[in-house]
């Protein structure tokens, strides 16, 4: 069985957007405006409202499902390589996940590179997490979620908290994470033609903008999750599309989680695209994955 017609249409949509922002010489502001149109792939989830908030100085959008458990919250990080996209790009997809998890979700508007290189994004993630704590949420009732670089941040934040001896969120969902900043996983080249959003060139550009400290090695476990000590992470679920350039890194991160005895699941999406979660509400395979994500979060938050 192949993928659904809706999944094929989503892949075509991703390619149409990539054609627009891949024109040589485009100003970065224009590229960001074009990337923002990815939000059109998601439907508005029914029964979810939104409120813009100041999360300790970091802008955010709170997704509020009608039947959300008042004691549970998700902290969601958007895609874009740390260079493009925004909390608005992920708002609807995050709303679908929040609805499935029966929890509010704070979509974090972290700072972008090259204006704000690493570790500004992790700093903002930590600030937003501490804001949720200040609102009365308990660590074990907070889920750390995200896609692409957001999927990376969803793991980086708990690792940073572990390093300082602090309680982590109760569960992680990392979707299409960028887990190897050397860009040397074989899937990067093997899936160059099947990934309709990312390419090796775009990864190299994101890396150049994001990691500006010449002393920082690309293999550094602080930035390449496949080299990190994952001991003590909360239950972690990893999703990735089999057709994406980062597919090999998602699989490798899954193996590493098992090596470190982290309670984990790995879900490859057959013929799935990078940021497939953006097709929430339109693609049946994505909606099935979101239902699965919701169950994972409901099971582990507050456990």
pLDDT at residue 1 greater than cutoff 90 = no
State CA 141 to chain mean position distance: 19
Res. 303 pLDDT band, cuts 50 70 90: low
Question: What digits encode the pLDDT tens for the residues 249-276?
Answer: 999 999 999 999 999 999 999 999 999 9
Question: Contact, 259 vs 232, CB < 8 A?
Answer: no
What is the mean pLDDT of the segment spanning 51-63?
A: 98
pTM (2 decimals)?
0.98
Question: What digits encode the pLDDT tens for the residues 114-127?
Answer: 999 999 999 999 99
Domain boundaries, given as residue ranges, for the chain = 5-300
Report in angstroms the alpha-carbon separations of 11 from 7, 8, 39, 75, 222: 6, 5, 14, 27, 32
Question: What digits encode the pLDDT tens for the residues 124-181?
Answer: 999 999 999 999 999 999 999 999 999 999 999 999 999 999 999 999 999 999 999 9
Does domain 5-300 fall under CATH 3.40.50.1820? My reply is: yes
Res. 302 pLDDT band, cuts 50 70 90: confident
Rounded distance, CA 61 to CA 95, Å? Answer: 10
Rounded distance, CA 147 to CA 161, Å? Answer: 20
Rounded distance, CA 211 to CA 256, Å? Answer: 24
Question: Contact, 125 vs 110, CB < 8 A?
Answer: yes
């Amino acid at each position: 069985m192949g993928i659904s017609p809706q999944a094929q249409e989503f892949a075509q949509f991703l390619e149409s957007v990539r054609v627009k922002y891949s024109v040589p010489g485009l100003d970065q502001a224009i590229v960001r405006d074009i990337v923002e149109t990815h939000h059109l792939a998601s439907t508005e989830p029914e029964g979810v409202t939104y409120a813009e908030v100041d999360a300790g100085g970091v802008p955010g959008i709170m997704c509020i499902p009608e039947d959300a458990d008042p004691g549970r919250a998700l902290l969601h990080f958007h895609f874009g390589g740390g260079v493009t996209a925004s909390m608005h790009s992920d708002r609807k997809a995050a709303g679908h996940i929040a609805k499935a998890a029966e929890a509010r979700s704070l979509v974090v508007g972290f700072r972008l590179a090259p204006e704000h290189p690493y570790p500004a994004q992790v700093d903002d993630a930590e600030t937003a997490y501490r804001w949720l704590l200040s609102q009365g949420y308990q660590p074990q009732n907070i889920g750390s979620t995200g896609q692409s670089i957001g999927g990376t941040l969803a793991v980086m934040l708990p690792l940073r908290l572990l390093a300082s001896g602090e309680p982590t969120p109760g569960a992680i969902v990392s979707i299409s994470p960028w887990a190897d900043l050397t860009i040397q996983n074989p899937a990067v080249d093997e899936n160059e033609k099947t990934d309709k959003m990312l390419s090796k060139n775009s990864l190299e550009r994101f890396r150049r903008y994001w990691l500006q400290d010449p002393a920082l090695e690309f293999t550094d476990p602080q930035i390449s999750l496949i080299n990190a000590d994952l001991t003590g992470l909360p239950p972690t679920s990893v999703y990735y599309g089999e057709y994406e350039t980062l597919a090999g890194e998602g699989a490798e991160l899954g193996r590493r989680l098992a090596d470190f005895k982290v309670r984990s699941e790995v879900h490859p999406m057959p013929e799935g695209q990078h940021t497939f979660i953006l097709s929430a509400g339109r693609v049946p395979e994505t909606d099935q994955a979101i239902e699965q994500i919701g169950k994972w979060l409901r099971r582990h938050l507050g456990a």
